[in-house]
Amino acid sequence: MNAAQTKALSAAISECRICGADFAATATAHSPRPVTWFGPDARILIAGQAPGARVHASGIPFSDPSGDRLRDWLQLTPEVFYDRARVAIVPMAFCFPGYDRRGADLPPPKVCARTWRKPVLATLAHVRLTVLVGSYAQRWHLGQSAGGLTDRVLRWRDHAPAVFPLPHPSWRNTGWLRRNPWFEAELLPALREQVVTALKRAGDGTA
């Protein structure tokens, strides 16, 4: 798929209102605002969960403290992270799902991935590294394997160097990071090495 076709697909997703009635019924009673961020030349795919309230407001993926932590994990500057020619950010749902009556995050609507995920991934022919952020993306890409998120991330070597499963970089997982020091000591150095490799241009060895 060429750049024009990719742009048309992104525009079509931006017009999507398939979840409008469901979002109106949430505690946030918001309207759909799909956040798309991908291009046909991207070398790294970040497969996330869904935009949060801050991203819904900004229209920029990971424009929040979770994004700061994720960029630190990847050792990417904002300039590189937001360069669509290098990084594609494709969550399981393109819109903020909203909160329930208790203020908890609602899951990404499954209809979004069923409708848009395969067409978007088909545009990403040059991806060398896929980063799976959180359980929803991991189950879609890796299958419904036994065990929870910790087990999947602990088995990161089964999928490296092309795929790395990560916990969500939310502040809510700070305790998880403390309980699992191997993540920062072992997984992150290997991930950062693959980020550098994925961004190298053929022939000149530069990013």
CA distances for 83 relative to 27, 54, 87, 197, angstroms:
34, 20, 6, 16
| pTM of the entire predicted model | 0.94
Domains of the chain are 3-199 (3.40.470.10)
Does pLDDT of 206 surpass 50? Answer: no
Q: What is the per-residue pLDDT for 43?
A: 98
Task: Annotate 72-114 with DSSP letters as a single string.
Answer: HHHT--HHHHT-TTTEEE--S-SS---B-TTSPBPPPPHHHII
**Whether 49 contacts 134, CB under 8 Å:** yes
Q: pLDDT (tens digit, 9 = 90+) per residue, 20-44?
A: 999 999 999 999 999 999 999 999 9
* Summary mean pLDDT of the chain: 94
Q: What is the per-residue pLDDT for 205?
A: 41
Q: What is the mean pLDDT of residues 188-195?
A: 98
Q: What is the mean pLDDT of residues 124-147?
A: 91
Q: Poorest-confidence range of 6-10, 99-103, 106-110, 177-181? A: 99-103
Tokens at 7, concatenated: 């742009």
**Whether 51 contacts 35, CB under 8 Å:** yes
Q: What is the per-residue pLDDT for 203?
A: 41
Q: What is the per-residue pLDDT for 2?
A: 80
Q: What is the mean pLDDT of residues 125-131?
A: 97
Q: What is the mean pLDDT of residues 130-141?
A: 96
Q: What is the per-residue pLDDT for 91?
A: 98
Q: pLDDT (tens digit, 9 = 90+) per residue, 140-163?
A: 999 876 579 999 999 999 999 999
